[in-house]
Amino acid sequence: MEILDSYKALLAEIGKLDSATSLLSWDERTYIPPKAHEARAKVVGKLAKMSFEQFTSDEMGSYLEKLSAMDTLSDLDKASVKRVSKDYKRFRAIPPALYEQYTIDRSQSEFAWEKARADNDFTAFEPYLTKMVDYARQFAELFGYEENPYDALIEDYEPGMTAAELKTIIEPLRAELVPFVQRLMEEGTPPDDSFLQGTFPADKQKQVSLKALEAMHYDFGAGRLDVTAHPFTTRIGPHDTRITTRYLEDNLLSSFFSSVHEGGHALYDQGIPDELTWSGLDDGASMGIHESQSRLWENMVGRSREFWHFFYPTLIDVFPQFEGIPLDSFYRAANRVEPSLIRVEADEVTYNLHIMLRFELEEALLNQRIEVRELPDLWRDAMKRYLGVVPPDDAQGVMQDVHWSAGLIGYFPSYMLGNLYDAQIYRTALREIDDLPGKISRGELLPLREWLRDKIHRFGRIYDPKELLQRVTGEGPDPQYFLDYVRTKYGEVYRLK
């Protein structure tokens, strides 16, 4: 069919441009020389504009209009036209020149954030962040919304979710988590983690991360592990999904769990079949579903007693100082709960509280109830209310995350939703995979990867997140699975009566 072939050819051209942009952006966050940032931002902006103009072109609109009226398309082609039509309508609202300038400013903002955080200088970062917030407000108005401008932005990350629905999830979840954390702190027996103090050379940490990724069946023939300031995973293109981590020589588990987390993202991307390449469907169903995969591997698997039963000897081979530490002691130490300053280092129980305060602040920013200059003080106040700790500086406070510098307002709730989804998905996996805990304890992680590939990965963006969750678990989203999980696990870890 000539029109279908032309439509697919245009998507492929856009995909190639996006692949080049992803590669340049990956380089920008890993190995680019510091003096090259300004020029690189312009190159990325140019490529992004070219892709954007092709995607929002009259030609694309004509293809979509004609294909939408056809009833002879395959189910896969119908899904592609439906998904691309939705994206086309949204991005058609943004002038190409505005998008190019946004891309350039975003790149410069990320570089400014990295330097300002290193210097602990929010004042230097403030004008860049103000510009990113202004863009977010513009885009929300251009996209349109019914109740809250935040709804227009979260649609990019979690289709179908709204600020109002998030509040109905957050309020009861916070009401359960805060007193549970207090109970763990006041009534529980905290694990001894003194043996995790020390110096752990980065090259040895890398050995451990590589061995963990190999155990997860991450395909190194289609990816790699590198170092960055803020860990991320990026799908450069077909058969090229790259992981990054960071090594803190005084914190062994930071890089380990970061690598496993990003490995979960990468397994999702590597599990998307070739037939979806450059079809508008070759991505995750949502960032929340994507986070469910990374958090499932990081927490449900990577922090489990079963995982450490098989992996602990590997760790000891690299770091012999753990030879005399019993497995149960290490497992409990790896699951210590403690209200902390840094989101990416947070434990399973307190992690969602970090997300809740970010949602509170960015939703208020977007609705102009607060301004960027107020963020440092408001952040400190929110940390005290949610977690009972106050950051001593802005580098460990409002500037700790890269997201706002990249204009990703509306992204953070995906992390919380991923935690809720993964508990629900993993409960289903326990029912459907014979003796899954036993398999994990023997280092047999392939059955879980293949189950996830069959249930989630192979569908890419064909289904919206709620529809996919219904297909996988037989239910809509239910936070109770997460609450049951943390109460049971951490009640045992902390020996609550």
As a whole number of angstroms, the distance between CA 206 and CA 318 comes to 10
Query: 3-class DSSP state for residue 404?
Result: helix
Per-residue pLDDT, 1: 78
Pair 78, 177 in one domain: no
CA nearest to 216, candidates 182, 241, 246? 241
As a whole number of angstroms, the distance between CA 481 and CA 181 comes to 17
Q: Enumerate residue ranges in the chain where pLDDT < 50.
A: none
3-state DSSP percent of the chain in helix, strand and coil, to 5: 70, 5, 30
Residues with Cβ < 8 Å from 292, sequence gap 6 or more?
Answer: 417, 418, 419, 421, 422, 425
Q: How many domains would you assign to the chain? A: 2
Tell which of 120, 150, 176 closes a domain: 120
As a whole number of angstroms, the distance between CA 292 and CA 301 comes to 12
As a whole number of angstroms, the distance between CA 129 and CA 148 comes to 21
Pair 437, 314 in one domain: yes
Q: What is the pLDDT of residues 427-440, one digit of tens each?
A: 999 999 999 999 99
* 329 within domain boundaries: yes
Residue span of the structural domain in which 19 resides: 2-120
* 75 within domain boundaries: yes
* 125 within domain boundaries: no
* 152 within domain boundaries: no
Pair 111, 174 in one domain: no
* 481 within domain boundaries: yes
Burial (CB count within 10 angstroms: exposed 0-12, middle 13-18, buried 19+), residue 244: buried
Pair 94, 197 in one domain: no
Pair 92, 194 in one domain: no
Per-residue pLDDT, 497: 82
Per-residue pLDDT, 290: 97
Burial (CB count within 10 angstroms: exposed 0-12, middle 13-18, buried 19+), residue 204: middle
Tell me how many degrees the CA angle 268-422-463 measures, rounded to the nearest 5.
55
Per-residue pLDDT, 135: 97
Pair 300, 447 in one domain: yes
Tell which of 65, 88, 120 closes a domain: 120
Per-residue pLDDT, 345: 85
Pair 169, 55 in one domain: no
Cβ neighbour number for residue 185 with a 10 Å cutoff: 14
Pair 309, 443 in one domain: yes
Pair 186, 312 in one domain: yes
As a whole number of angstroms, the distance between CA 48 and CA 20 comes to 9
Token digits of residue 170: 């957050």
Q: In what order do the strands lie in the sheet with 240-245?
A: 225-227, 240-245, 233-237
Pair 389, 457 in one domain: yes
As a whole number of angstroms, the distance between CA 279 and CA 41 comes to 27
Q: For the domain that residue 469 is a member of, what is the CATH number?
A: 1.10.1370.30
* 157 within domain boundaries: no
Tell if the pTM clears 0.85, that is, is over it: yes
Pair 84, 198 in one domain: no
Active-site positions?
Answer: 262
Query: In this structure, are residues 364 and 370 in contact, taking their beta carbons and an 8 Å threshold?
Result: yes
* 290 within domain boundaries: yes
* 49 within domain boundaries: yes
Pair 456, 403 in one domain: yes
Q: What is the pLDDT of residues 317-350, one digit of tens each?
A: 999 999 999 999 999 999 999 999 999 889 999 9
